[in-house]
Amino acid sequence: MSTATLTYQLGDRQVPRMGYGAMQLAGKGVFGPPADEARALQVLRDAIESGVRHIDTSDFYGPHITNQLIKKALHPYPHDLCIVTKVGAVRNSKGGWLPAFSAEDLTRAVEDNLRNLGLEVLDVVNLRSMYDVHQPAEGTLDEQLEALAALRDKGLIRHIGLSNVTAKQVVDAQKITPIACVQNLYNLVNRKDEALIDQLAVQEIAYVPFFPLGGFTPLQNNRLNEVAQSLGATSMQVALAWLLQRSPNILLIPGTSSPQHLQENLAAAELKIPAEALETLNQIGAAQ
């Protein structure tokens, strides 16, 4: 069976493991509109036509722009599309990222997401921890999760997830609400979440790595390039295929503003990395 046909549970749905991350559709610095709106809309429509059924977004991309593009390109949505958004931050007038963590902030963020996406209920809402904007940092999320659980009980959210969190925060969160997915930084060279991925796999909870290709500066590694050449694939495709082979609970949301890169990324779901090449790739992260 090809990897492309494999799915995993995300909220109420089984989604193909290769999804799409919409953050790159906003302007430079994830701020303001895209340079080429028609191209952004095309990427979204191509993704759906090619079978993507998991789109990751947030109302703080742009802000508002990414959600508005998704609505413009895809509404009314396919019945089996899972749109995952996140709350917990806002942007200032210069594009800076600020925590927005009060119950009122979270309620406003959910309402903004609903309006800008044109939805009556959000499939999955990730609470993005902002104790440290760049990396997971300990701190209670109880009040924020209770606020989101209340919005779920009001029927505005179906499922709650977490982003930029520690393993302890996941355990603590599960005392308040079921957690549908965890979205943290993880890729071939950033492997701090190895134990958390395995722990979530046992619980059958999706792990969704952000920056799967390295983020704003895509991964550059000689051994990755050599493996890619030997497999007749691009380095980005190998980086994605490696994640798919890492654990069955990993769902991918590579970001791109390019129709061509989108197709390359989707094709990575067909790539099977042989054992020897896998071992070489595994050593890249282990050496960090």
Q: Under the rule (CB under 6 A), what is the footprint of ligand NAP?
A: 21-24, 56, 86, 128, 163-164, 183, 210-216, 218, 236, 253-258, 261, 264-265
Q: Tell me how far, at minimum, the Cβ of 282 lies from ligand NAP, in Å.
A: 19
With respect to ligand NAP, which residue has the nearer C-beta, 63 or 212? Answer: 212
CA–CA gap between residue 236 and residue 37 (Å, rounded):
25
- Map residue 49 onto helix, strand or coil: helix
Q: What is the largest CA-CA distance in the chain?
A: 53
- Nearest residue (beta carbon) to ligand NAP: 255
With respect to ligand NAP, which residue has the nearer C-beta, 92 or 275? Answer: 92
- Token pair of 93, please? 């007038």
Q: Which amino acid is residue 158, in one-letter code?
A: R
With respect to ligand NAP, which residue has the nearer C-beta, 177 or 190? Answer: 190
With respect to ligand NAP, which residue has the nearer C-beta, 114 or 268? Answer: 268
Q: Tell me how far, at minimum, the Cβ of 265 lies from ligand NAP, in Å.
A: 5
- Map residue 129 onto helix, strand or coil: coil
What is the four-CA torsion angle of 26, 28, 32, 38, rounded to 10 degrees?
A: -50
CA–CA gap between residue 185 and residue 9 (Å, rounded):
20
Q: Tell me how far, at minimum, the Cβ of 131 lies from ligand NAP, in Å.
A: 13
Torsion angles phi and psi, residue 208, rounded to 5: -120, 100
Q: Tell me how far, at minimum, the Cβ of 217 lies from ligand NAP, in Å.
A: 8
Q: What angle do CA 72, 76, 80 make, to 5 degrees?
A: 120
- Token pair of 107, please? 């309620």
Catalytic residue among 20, 61, 186, 207: 61
Q: Tell me how far, at minimum, the Cβ of 163 lies from ligand NAP, in Å.
A: 4
The structure tokens 């906003």 sit at: 26
Is 20 known to be catalytic?
no
Q: What angle do CA 183, 269, 230 make, to 5 degrees?
A: 115
Strands 97-99 vs 89-91: parallel, antiparallel or unpaired: antiparallel
With respect to ligand NAP, which residue has the nearer C-beta, 112 or 279? Answer: 112
* Catalytic (active-site) positions: 61
